[in-house]
């Protein structure tokens, strides 16, 4: 699976070459690409200041759609996974109940939830330019 970072770098290299600059050959011509970004882009929350994250990750969301169109004819699919709060060592055990309450389903996500989403996108050959929210309903509202 190609990363969105690789596609962005390749796009920049292709663009540079078209203007007479240096070029690097693109390695992949087909297959899936997945990006993972915060779901705060799709739903602001006064309890979680996130302007900078929304600015940068929102740009990646837009790039996902643009690259999906630009690379579709080459057989490259570009999609994004937008996780909610996932149970990892990043979150102290004592915060889990509070963090779980931020999701309409009442629990934090597990790493396996994200792995399953990426595995789906890798095999879903007719899906491109999409953002798959794996966020326990956060993007649907509260």
Longest dimension (CA), the chain: 56
pLDDT tens digits, 15-60: 444 445 444 334 445 666 666 665 556 666 677 777 777 777 778 8
Domain regions of the chain by residue span: 29-140
Highest mean pLDDT among 9-18, 42-51, 93-102: 93-102
Strands (E), the chain: 2-3, 31-36, 76-83, 131-134
What pTM was estimated for this model as a whole?
A: 0.71
Class of domain 29-140: alpha beta
């Amino acid at each position: 699976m190609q990363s969105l970072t690789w596609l962005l770098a390749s796009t920049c290299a292709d663009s540079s070459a078209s203007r007479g600059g240096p070029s690097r050959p693109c390695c992949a011509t087909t297959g899936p690409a997945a990006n993972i970004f915060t779901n705060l882009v799709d739903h602001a929350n006064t309890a979680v200041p996130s302007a900078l994250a929304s600015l940068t990750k929102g740009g990646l969301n837009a790039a996902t759609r643009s690259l999906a169109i630009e690379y579709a004819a080459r057989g490259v699919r570009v999609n994004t996974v937008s996780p909610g709060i996932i149970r990892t060592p990043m979150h102290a055990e004592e915060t889990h109940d509070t963090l779980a309450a931020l999701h309409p389903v009442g629990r934090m996500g597990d790493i396996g939830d994200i792995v399953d989403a990426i595995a789906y996108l890798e095999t879903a050959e007719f899906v491109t330019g999409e953002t798959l929210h794996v966020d326990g309903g956060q993007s649907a509202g509260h």
